[in-house]
Structure 1
Amino acid sequence: MPELPEVETIARAIESDVIGKTIVSADVRWARTLATPSAKKFREQVKGQKIIGVSRRAKYLILLLENYNLLIHLRMSGDLIVRKGKIKPEKHDRLILDLKAKNGGISQLAFNDTRKFGRVWLTDQPEKILGKLGPEPLEKTFTPKWLYENLRKRKRQLKPLLLDQTFLAGVGNIYADESLHIAKLHPQALSNAVSLKQAEALYEAIVSVLKEGIRRNGASIDWVYRGGEYQNYFRVYDREEKPCIVCGTKIQKIIVGQRGTHVCPKCQKVERK
């Protein structure tokens, strides 16, 4: 699933190609892609809307329209593709927006989603969807002090808590594993047992891996997302049975919170009390 760096990369990639263009029509090719409204209302409401901005919140990509917000969650296999002209839809296109520039040029923004898990919302009240999300880890609201205090308020295993989007927005399986390894914290360690020093290390790790992920255009590990190179720099993720880059111990893959999790058993020892 694309995480914060991958969604940020896609947002930046399409920004210059869509801002200022007007949606002249929408082809809803799989109605269940739309969480809201119905396909009929969607086509009616987006027609004539100018795209005035592109942003991201957590793992949501947001197209700012004149009167609405178009929220897109890529889920497992979604991607946004800009195409010049009006061309034949591809097999896994679920939604296509036909765009027109001021000079009359035609292009398309296609939501391509092989596994059909992605969802799109058209709304004038985006806070109803985004309001329960936790802080953005690359914004000023996320601090070492905030992280320490909020870890201590909960008694949960660290990795499932980091994946909880109401706790912290945008972190997924890849960047949680990488952050915990850098901070030398076991994914199963309890949040309320984390010291201030450990919380500070985890804060620095989260911020650094996300920034590095964005710098390298995200991670391309299979057919889900293409274009990034961060996968070439993984410390533990997808490196089962390979040596830890710090100590040489073989990386293990375990299950934590029903998620495959990569850990170095030497660098990331879980404290038993």
Structure 2
Amino acid sequence: MPELPEVETTRRKIEPLLAGRTILQVTHDAPHRYRDTQLALGRRVSGLSRRGKYLMLHLAAQDAAGDAPHDLELIVHLGMTGGFRLEEGPHTRVTLTTDAGTLYFNDPRRFGKMAVVPAGEYDGMPTLAAMGPEPLSDDFREEDFARLAARAGAVKPWLLSQKPVSGVGNIYADESLWRARLHPAQTHLTREEAGRLYHAVREVMAEAVEAGGSSLGNGSGNYRQHDGDVGFFQGRHAVYGRGGQPCPRCGSDIRKIVLAQRGTHFCARCQPLRDPPPQEEGASRG
């Protein structure tokens, strides 16, 4: 947390507060975590976008024309518990002041990061630089996904790598695999299996974005927006966080295991693990 739906909801919510505004001050006490933020001072926020789980504030020179291209970006990764608020709190890590007001970046567990970089230059951010296509874009093509899936190892860690498709984290990987009836540890997907998963990822992400993401628990790290709004997709979770409860499809108990150091929820009856298909001679196992 947060994953693509939560970050996209954040983008939509705070864009009206920041677009067209000039950044006057960025205050924090962790320059190793919030890098080169002084470069944003005096810059106009020409717009906000998102790539996977990363939020991007596009920064133009203050005297640039309204349609002038931006040349710097303030990249924000919310980490596990990061989010923007209208008021300062005990977990405020960054204060972002513009000519229209102030936003506070709260992050109880301190995994969030920010950096100002030249637009499009992500050499210091390997995950962002090598990220796969957006799941709801035309660049996410079933044929390409199936070709990569045929050579993949355990499918859930593969999804979490961000390389086959961007923005899928622990929650939405579990939910997509349940819809596709695939075991999280399944390797080397068949063409038919990959097609099921491709469509499941697109469906789950579209529904979660529409619902404003997922809000879990009641602690200080619970995902919510700057205005206090929460997401509602948690009410549609079929398996995530439901260990020991009945599968909504078959009634069997949902199981929880640890796979690649991540808690993983699935239905053993609906998502059986089959033997991997035999590899053709000389085929890659990458």
Corresponding residue number in structure 2 for 1:189: 186
Of 177, 191, 198, 1:180 maps to 177
CA-CA distance at 1:125 after TM superposition: 4.2
Aligned match of 2:101:
107
Name 1:230's counterpart in structure 2. 233
2:111 is paired with a residue whose SS is coil
Residues 36-71 of structure 1: CA distance to partner in whole angstroms, max 9, x if unpaired?
32xxxx32x222111110110010011111131000
- 1:111-190 aligned at under 5 Å gives the runs 111-128=105-122, 129=125, 130-154=128-152, 156-190=153-187
Instruction: State the alpha-carbon separation in 2 of the partners of residues 29 and 93 from structure 1.
Output: 11
Q: Deviations over 1:174-224 (max 9, x none)?
A: 00000000000000110x2x2211111111100000000001000000333
> Scaled by the length of structure 2, what TM-score is found?
0.85
Match of 2:216 among 217, 221, 224: 221
Aligned to 2:45: 51
2:95 corresponds to 1:92: no
* d(CA) in 1 for partners of 2:25, 2:260: 43
Equivalent in the alignment of 2:281: none
Q: What's the TM-score once normalised by structure 1's chain length? A: 0.89
What pairs up with 1:71-86 in 2 under 5 angstroms? 71-81=75-85, 83=86
Q: Match for residue 204 of structure 1?
A: 199
Is the contact made by 2:177 and 2:184 (CA closer than 8 Å) also made in structure 1?
Answer: yes
Aligned to 2:17: 17
| Kept after mapping to 2: 8 A contact 1:184/1:268 | yes
Pairwise CA distance, 1:80: 1.7
CA offset digits 1:119-146 (Å, max 9, x no partner)? 1010114332332111111111112111
Percent identity of paired positions between Structure 1 and Structure 2: 39
Give per-residue Cα distances to partners, 1:92-119, cap 9 Å, x unaligned: 111111111xxxxx31122111111111
Distance 2:190 2:266 in 1: 20
Q: Which amino acid aligns with 2:10?
A: I
Distance in 1 (alpha carbons) for counterparts of 2:154 and 2:169: 15
Task: State whether structure 2 residue 245 is matched by structure 1 residue 250.
Answer: no
Cα shift at 1:167: 2.9
Total equivalences in the alignment? 254
Q: Is the 8 A contact 1:221 1:231 kept in 2?
A: yes
Amino acid in structure 2 at the alignment position of 1:164 = S
1:137 match: secondary structure:
coil
* Counterpart residue type for residue 18 of structure 1: L
- Partner SS, residue 235 of structure 2: helix
Q: Is the 8 A contact 1:33 1:94 kept in 2?
A: no
- 1:224 and 1:146 mapped to 2: Cα distance? 35
Gaps of 5+ in 1: 101-105
Which residue does the alignment assign to 1:103?
Answer: none
What CA distance in whole angstroms lies between the structure 2 residues aligned with 1:110 and 1:68?
A: 21
**Cα distance in 1 for residues equivalent to 2:183 and 2:205:** 19
- Computed over aligned residues only, the root mean square deviation of the Cα atoms, in angstroms, reads 1.4
Does the 8 A contact of 2:94 with 2:106 survive in 1? yes
Moved more, 4-13 or 195-204: 195-204
